[in-house]
Copies of this chain bind each other. A is one copy, B any other.
Amino acid sequence: MKLRILLPLLLLTAVGVLRAQERVACWERFELRFEHAAKGNPFDVDLSATFTSGDRTIVVRGFYDGDDTYRIRFMPTAEGTWQYVTRSSAAAMNRRRGTLVATPAAAGNHGPVAVDGHGFRYADGTRYMPFGTTNYALALFRPETQEATLRSLATSGFNKTRLCVLPKDFPTPLEAPTRFPFVLRSRTTDEAGKEHFEWDFDRFDPAFFQNLDRRIEQLQALGIEADLILFHPYDRGMWGFDKMPEAVNRRYLDYLIARVGAYRNVWWSLANEWDLVRNRSVEEWKALTRHVAATDPYGHLCSIHGGTAVYFDYSMPELTHVSIQDEAPVFAASSAATLRQIFPKPVICDEIGYEGNLPLRWARYSPRLMTHYVTNGLMGGIYVTHGECYRDPAEEDFVYWSDGGRLRGGSWQRIAFLRRILEEGPNPPQMADVSRDTQTSTAGDGYYYVYLGQSVQSSWRFNLPASNARYRRPQEGNRYRVEIIDLWEMTVTEVPDIFEATKVLDYRVYDKQHRNVRLPDTPYLLLRIREIGE
């Protein structure tokens, strides 16, 4: 209170060290660096800065990065001149003032992703449809493994991945985490041979987080959103990061947000399988969620992910989208569509089981089934995340979903193919006639998909529903081209006929000549039907 009252005076009289005016592109990272030898615990030094541009004010926290170095990171959210002033409990870092100019974003920099109805858009308005995968240990294992994972992602076609911040214990690890978020106080082995770790929860290990920073930057360079899993139950009593005191949980979140909040491609996933974390109640998860939302000055996307078919209270306004583990919704596009109808936010099935060859039932989908499920979800108007769980039975090698390494399955290419197809559409798909027509999706005026799924049929009678979500309905005389897209073979074959709509007959239109589309008697066909001009 005293500070707040004194501040205007102080600002007028302060001899701020004015830095040269700096330039940084919109949604890139601006960083202030200070050298300061703290007395006591350097992590206890308060440091923040207020950035102001016109009506916009953003307060960001700084953080201690080791070696007497403090940093304040800031992401300008609009072009123009930003003034800043620091605050710190250390006089040397207090009331430092400066100016930066946020220049237009370069090509390929669209800003952070935000919610737009049941879908997403980057801050610059560009549409974003998540086609994600899963790499829990992306920033946790040996540098070579981390780099291999990033190389695999570079050519995969994925534009989002889920990764754990905190170390994950694996039942049959090829590798174990080598760095940890906190400074180790002691490591002992009991009579039973079990290791016990004691951490100094007052001191982070900057090297651990520096590595995470670098991985997020690399993902950003690849155009991949980093869906950061903040807590998870995969500690299995190994290190105790799943049962830290509540104050440590918050201190960890604050430190993480101070470090990586200024990265535009960051999303917060409060947890993977929150319900499997022992002794943390729904109310505690809600409190942590509110803490993240209140601490993050940018409003990054935020959700929480549970065990199979465990749904959190996604009506919480802090949860920007629904992130779930469940396969039932992708058994059929019509089931996926029900989730879209229930939740007034985007829905991502961030885990539906994985393509793979492990004995576990959630880790042994065929490439075709994985592709089919992803397609069902997309056709129903939600999003579905990929994962891959192959292990060479001859040797204990990497499982991509958790360890990283290289992609070796069959669905990832098809998902990339499907992404290209759907990004050609004017809007993301959704059911054209929800809860009535289980096969026809729409992407806008005169733009449809009919997903035939696992059925094999020799022909398809041209027909469309009279309803078309909120788009223009088909009219008698509208003319359409049809393409047969084979999702498995990744081919697009145009049908030579032009189809002409009848008037609406019992809720549908047909071709005036009653024509069929001949099909190749194979499953996983997606018909794309586009109206053509006069």
Contacts and interface: CB of A to CB of B under 8 A. Distances in A.
A323 interface: no
Interface in A409-461: 434-436, 438
Given A313-B315, A361-B507, A334 B328 contact: yes
A341 to B, nearest CB: 4
A500 interface: no
A342 interface: yes
A361 B309 contact: no
B361 A435 contact: no
A242 interface: no
A321 to B, nearest CB: 15
Quickly give the copy total for this chain: 2
Interface in A313-358: 313, 315, 326-329, 331-332, 334-335, 337-339, 341-342, 344
A310 interface: yes
B326 A435 contact: yes
Contacts of A326: 338, 341, 435
Interface residues of A, number: 28
Nearest to A329: B338
A122 interface: no
A328 B339 contact: no
Contacts of A308: 434-436
SS class, residues of chain A in contact with chain B: loop
Nearest to A337: B328
Contacts of A310: 341
A505 to B, nearest CB: 12
A255 interface: no
Given A328-B335, A331-B332, A331-B334, A311 B341 contact: yes
A227 to B, nearest CB: 21
Contact of A342 (B332, B334, B337, B342): B342
Contact of A334 (B315, B335, B438, B507): B335
B434 A331 contact: no
Contacts of A334: 328, 331, 335
10 contacts: A308-B434, A309-B338, A309-B434, A326-B338, A326-B341, A326-B435, A328-B337, A328-B438, A332-B335, A338-B339
Given A308-B436, A311-B342, A335-B335, 16 more contacts: A309-B341, A310-B341, A311-B341, A326-B341, A326-B435, A327-B436, A328-B335, A328-B435, A329-B338, A331-B332, A335-B338, A338-B339, A339-B342, A342-B342, A361-B436, A361-B506
Q: 7 closest Cβ contacts across the A-B interface?
A: A315-B315, A328-B435, A309-B435, A309-B341, A335-B335, A328-B334, A311-B342
